[in-house]
Structure 1
Amino acid sequence: MVARLVDGISTYTGKLCAWSMFAVGFFIAYEVVMRYFFTAPTVWVDEISRILLVWTTFLGAGYLIKNHGMVTIEVLFKEPDTLARKLAETLAIAMLLVFGLTAAYFGYQLWLKSTLAGHTTDTYLAVPKAITHASIWVGCLLMSLQGLVELWRVWTVGPFNHEFEEGGAD
């Protein structure tokens, strides 16, 4: 039940990230037309695109983990059901969790500080920095939750096998 919920959130955010990238491409194309054809550059495209790119980077991590999009080398642990493979997967996920939970903790502290202080960007739009700072702890927390789900799967379903599975274990 929890695994399906986390998978669903990761899938949803992955699709949201894909559409955000589409929007960034559209915004940049719009900026090019406005700047070079109408000599009327916008004040919002650069900052909004950066915000979307930051959110896409952090939110996309959970989707990446869910779909096993990380680079893996299976020379030593090619067989998916061996104890050595499960231990190697566990070690990799444990390192991911150390990073993800640490980044989520300190990212939350940064977000809280900037939210309470009312910090804004030094641009014409003066967007609250809490918007971009939230992406760190939200994305790293989702990545960590997905990592815990994958760790559970390693020991119950078995490690993901790239040769035999298309979409991963459910």
Structure 2
Amino acid sequence: MVHDTDPSPHPISRRALLRRSAAFAGSLALPAIVPASVFGARAPSNRIQVACIGTGNQGIGILRRFLRNEDVQIVAVCDVNTGSHGYKTDDQYLGREPARQEVDAHYAQLARSGSYTGCTPYIDFREVLDRDDVDAVTIVVPDHWHAIMTVQAAERGKDIYW
């Protein structure tokens, strides 16, 4: 005499259940295992965090070139000059605050929220060099400051562009 205790019309074996469960669990874990770059996203940790020291005529040009590089994130600007008009032309406005505004405006365009306030302005270059999140610095200052700033940046383990 045969007793049919399985009420389902299509019984699934224990092995098949385990196989399907493992496949489902693996599909949930896949996004955590595969780097975001596989899906076209750039991980913030893969960007070089840059601080721009000196934001006058030459410094602002270098800053703008770095803004176009997706592998770079400008996190700080430093200049003793808050802002001045008339560097080359009467309408040109350069310095610490205009540079910060330009960086924030650039990254705000790229952000989903449409806003960005991650660029910190500094007067004292030593405060910039003390930041642990700054990987590299641009040093575009008058000649008599280059050596001092470069040596101190190197002592703090920063990569230097000048």
Q: Could you say whether these structures have the same fold, taking a TM-score greater than 0.5 normalized by the shorter chain as the test?
A: no
Q: Name the structure where helix makes up a greater proportion of residues.
A: 1
Report TM bin, short chain: under 0.3
TM-score (norm 2): 0.24
Q: Which has the higher contact order (CA 8 A, sep 6+)?
A: 1
TM-score (norm 1): 0.23
Q: Name the structure where strand makes up a greater proportion of residues.
A: 2
